[in-house]
């Protein structure tokens, strides 16, 4: 696939799951748990690194990190599909909300949580 879109990934994932008769296992709760598990596997690559900068990763480890990131994304797309959530629209709305919670003039250069700004 040369230039995937969110819709094309969702459709490929639907087909992949249907071919294997896995929909029966894809309750939203199970998918949410799978996202957490895959995110933990992603974090494991960075667990003992000082910052996790690319130069700290062992040769070939970046590809493994990409695979774990893809696992998180695919489970997230599947969960959004099961809950009929437009993931891109939800992300766009969330960025709008974050812009309100973290105005540039208060948040620039700070890692402070919005309720402490």
**Structural domains of the chain ordered from first start:** 1-85 (1.10.287.1080), 86-117 (no CATH)
Residue 82 has pLDDT above 80, yes or no: yes
pTM of the model: 0.90
CB-side neighbour CA atoms (13 Å) of 115: 0
Number of Cβ atoms within 10 Å of the Cβ of 77 = 19
Gyration radius from the chain CA atoms: 18
What does the pLDDT average to over 26-35? Answer: 98
Give the pLDDT confidence of 53-76 residue by residue, as tens digits: 999 999 999 999 999 999 999 999
Residue 114: predicted pLDDT: 87
* C-beta separation of 14 from 8 below 8 A: no
C-alpha 70: how far from chain center: 8
Beta-carbon neighbour count of residue 30 at 10 Å?
A: 14
pLDDT value, residue 3: 83
């Amino acid at each position: 696939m040369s230039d995937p879109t969110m819709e094309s990934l969702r459709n490929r994932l639907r087909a992949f799951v249907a071919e294997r008769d896995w929909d029966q296992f894809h309750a939203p709760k199970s998918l949410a748990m799978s996202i957490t598990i895959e995110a933990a596997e992603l974090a494991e690559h960075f667990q003992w690194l000082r910052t996790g900068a690319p130069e700290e990763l062992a040769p070939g480890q970046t590809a493994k990190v990409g695979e774990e990131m893809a696992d998180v994304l695919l489970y997230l797309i599947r969960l959004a599909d099961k809950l009929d959530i437009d993931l891109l629209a939800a992300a766009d709305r969330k960025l709008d909300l974050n812009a309100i919670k973290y105005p540039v003039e208060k948040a620039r250069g700070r890692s402070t949580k919005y309720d402490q700004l």
